Chain A
Amino acid sequence: MKAIIDWLDDRSGFRTLIKEALYEKVPGGARWRYVWGSCLTFAFFAQVVTGTLLWMFYSPSAQTAWESVYFLQYHVWGGWFLRGIHHYMAQAMVVLLVLHLMQVVIDGAYKAPRELNFWFGIALMGVTLGLSLTGYLLPWDQKGYWATTVATNLIAEVPLVGVYLQKLVVGGEEYGHHTVTRFFALHAGVLPGALIALVVGHIYLFRRHGIHAKEPRPKRDSYFWPDQVLKDAVACLAVALAVIVLTLYFHGAPLGPPADPASAFPARPEWYFLFLFQLLKYVPAFWGAVIIPAFVVLLMFAQPFIGKSEKGHRFNIGFLWCLLIGAGALTFLAFSEDRANKKHFAAVEEADWLAKRVVEIADKQGIPPSGAVTLLREDHENRARHLFSSNCASCHLYNGHDGRGFPVDSNQSAPDLAGFASRAWLEGLLDYDHYVSTKYFGGTAFKDGKMATKVLKKFGEKEKALVPKVAALLSDIAGLPYQEPLSEKEREEGFNVFFDELGCIDCHDIEDEDEGSAPDLTGYGSRDWLAAIVSDPSHERFYGKDNDRMPSFVRDEKLTVEEIGILVDWLRSKSSADSAVR
Chain B
Amino acid sequence: MSEPNDSTDDGDRRAFITKATVGVSVACSVFPFAAGVPAFLDPVSGNGDGDAGEIPWSKVASFSALPEDGTPTRFGIVRERVTDAWSTLTNVPVGAVYIVKQGDQVKAFNLKCPHLGCAIDHRSDQGDFFCPCHNSSFAFDGSVSNPASPSPRGMDGLETKIENGFVYVRFQQFRPNLAEKVPLI
Interface residues of A (CB under 8 A from B): 29-30, 42, 45-50, 53-54, 56-57, 64, 67-68, 70-72, 75-79, 81-82, 85, 219-223, 225-227, 229-230, 233-234, 236-237, 240, 362, 365-369
Contact = CB atoms under 8 A, between A and B. Distances in A.
Nearest to B2: A222
A20 to B, nearest CB: 18
Nearest to B35: A85
B86 A70 contact: yes
Given A49-B36, A85-B35, A234-B24, A71 B85 contact: yes
Interface of B: 1-4, 14, 17-18, 20-21, 24-25, 27-29, 31-33, 35-42, 45, 47-48, 83, 85-89
Given A29-B2, A46-B32, 12 more contacts: A49-B33, A67-B87, A76-B47, A82-B35, A220-B2, A226-B21, A230-B21, A230-B24, A233-B28, A236-B24, A366-B88, A367-B86
A57 B89 CA distance: 19
A71 B48 CA distance: 11
A180 to B, nearest CB: 16
Given A230-B24, A233-B28, A369-B87, A50 B35 contact: yes
Contacts of A49: 32-33, 35-36
A53 B4 contact: no
Nearest 6 pairs between A and B by C-beta? A366-B88, A78-B38, A222-B2, A53-B36, A49-B32, A233-B24
A219 B1 contact: yes
Contacts of A57: 39
A236 B14 CA distance: 21
B48 A75 contact: yes
A29 B28 contact: no
Given A220-B2, A227-B2, A240 B31 contact: yes
B81 to A, nearest CB: 9
Interface of A is mostly: helix
Given A230-B20, A230-B24, A220 B38 contact: no
A171 B35 CA distance: 33
B20 to A, nearest CB: 6
Contacts of A229: 21, 25
A68 B86 contact: yes
A30 B2 contact: yes
A367 B1 contact: no
Nearest to B81: A366
Nearest to A233: B24
A29 B37 contact: no
Nearest to B25: A233
Given A77-B42, A77-B45, A365 B88 contact: yes
A240 B42 contact: no
Contacts of B42: 76-79
A220 B86 contact: no
A354 to B, nearest CB: 17
A196 to B, nearest CB: 16
B88 A85 contact: no
Nearest to B20: A230
A223 B21 CA distance: 13
B21 A82 contact: no
B17 A226 contact: yes
Given A72-B39, A76-B39, A237-B24, A29 B1 contact: yes
A64 B21 CA distance: 44
A541 to B, nearest CB: 44
14 contacts: A29-B1, A42-B28, A46-B32, A48-B32, A50-B35, A77-B45, A78-B39, A81-B38, A82-B39, A226-B14, A227-B2, A236-B28, A237-B28, A366-B87
Nearest to A50: B32
Nearest to A69: B86
B167 to A, nearest CB: 29
A50 to B, nearest CB: 5
B2 A85 contact: no
Contacts of B28: 42, 233, 236-237, 240
A258 to B, nearest CB: 11
A77 B85 CA distance: 13
Contact of A362 (B31, B37, B86): B86
A53 B2 contact: no
B18 A226 contact: yes
Q: Which of A54, A76, A221, A240 has the most CB of B within 10 A?
A: A76
Nearest to B19: A226
Q: Which of A67, A225, A233 has the most CB of B within 10 A?
A: A233
Contacts of B32: 45-50, 85
Contact of A221 (B2, B41, B87, B89): B2
A29 B2 CA distance: 7
A369 B89 contact: yes
Contacts of B29: 45
B128 to A, nearest CB: 40
A240 B1 CA distance: 24
Nearest to A45: B32
A47 B35 CA distance: 11
Contacts of B83: 366
Contacts of B41: 77
Given A30-B2, A220-B4, A77 B20 contact: no
Contact of B87 (A48, A50, A77, A367): A367
